[in-house]
Amino acid sequence: MYLVFWCYMRVSFEQSLLTYHEMISYNFFPKVKHIITFYCIILLKSLICQYSYFPGHSHNDYFQNIPLSKALELGYKSIEVDVCPYKGKLVVSHNIFNLEQKPDINDLYINQLKKYFADKNIAKYSITLLIDIKNKKSKALKLIRKMIRQNPELFFPSYEGGDAAVKIILSGKIPFKHLTPKDLQVIKIDGRFFKSYKNKIFEHIPLISYSYAKLKKKYDRDCLEVIRELVLKSHAKGIKVRFWRIPHKEEIWDYLLSIGVDYLSVDNLALFEDYYQKSEIRTAYELYLSSVSLNSF
């Protein structure tokens, strides 16, 4: 912005020194036009990079060398955490083995998120925390309720009609029978394709996730066409779509984004972020998302 202003002031100053005919003879106007245009493009590009939608989902984020922080630094707004209840704590783990050695979700994620949103010097976006329950689902839900009660500044909007800083979506072994209307005011559900849900649950499903590898195995060459149809049907209902177990290949990422898949689960966060920032499909993808009405959760 300062550079654009400097260019403007410089032009005004030089115009006061040069006559109109001198400016024409020096080919002055086109040069100034190009300079101002150049810096305006830089400014607009920086704004687009800062605020545009990012389709990366940090799959099993706790396996990163720096959990959460690395994802946030690279612009990821959807974070996946696997949990197991253990001795009154919600432990971050992909399985039920050696739980006594695993960190609890408060230490690894919640406390970090509180610091992140308390920092006034960082531009903030709502973060989606996808909590994948691995076992003892009813006990896990009780611990998630406790976590929500103890951290209202994260999980409840700061003003009426606003977004919570952290939005919770339950995945994995979901305790449907134990979810209350009060729970569903804060907690949402990660659905699955080819599965039916009761209406009271379906209206709380903002996201449907599925394994790309599973569809590929089942439909083989027709897989991509099947995915396209699933995305269209989901978007028609206002539901976003995520796929996991996707090969880390740019041509597959290109296609999935080109048909409007909302989130791609990735393990190499830096690789996907670099790809997306350079991708020619990015602009078309963001224009597509702006043209459809999807659940904002």
How many CB atoms lie under 10 A from the CB of residue 238?
Answer: 13
pLDDT at 289 (0 to 100):
63
Instruction: Return the SS3 of 36.
Output: helix
Q: Which helix (H) or strand (E) holds 172?
A: strand 166-172
Amino acid at 135: N
Q: What does residue 189 show for φ and ψ, rounded to 5 degrees?
A: -115, 140
C-alpha radius of gyration, the chain, whole number: 24
Whether residue 38 is predicted with pLDDT greater than 70 in this model: the reply is no
d(CA 80, CA 87): 22
Per-residue pLDDT tens over the stretch 73-101? 999 999 999 999 999 999 999 999 999 99
Q: What does the pLDDT average to over 171-200?
A: 95
Q: What are the residues facing 129 on neighbouring strands?
A: 79, 168
d(CA 169, CA 130): 5
Higher pLDDT, 286 or 100: 100
d(CA 279, CA 269): 15
- What's the token pair of residue 75? 């612009």
- DSSP single-letter state for residue 182: T
C-alpha distances in Å from residue 279, one per residue of 57, 68, 254, 282, 285: 17, 24, 8, 6, 10
Q: Which range (12-21, 157-166, 212-221, 258-267) has the least confidence?
A: 12-21
Could you tell me which of 171, 164, 165 has the C-alpha nearest to residue 185? 164
Handedness of CA 205, 209, 215, 218 (dihedral sign): negative
Q: What are the residues facing 144 on neighbouring strands?
A: none
Q: Which range (12-21, 30-39, 54-63) has the least confidence?
A: 12-21
Could you tell me which of 261, 186, 266 has the C-alpha nearest to residue 229? 261
Its CATH architecture, for the domain 52-291, is Alpha-Beta Barrel (3.20)
Helix, strand, coil content of the chain in percent (nearest 5): 50, 15, 30
Residues 6+ apart with CB under 8 A from 192: 208, 209, 210
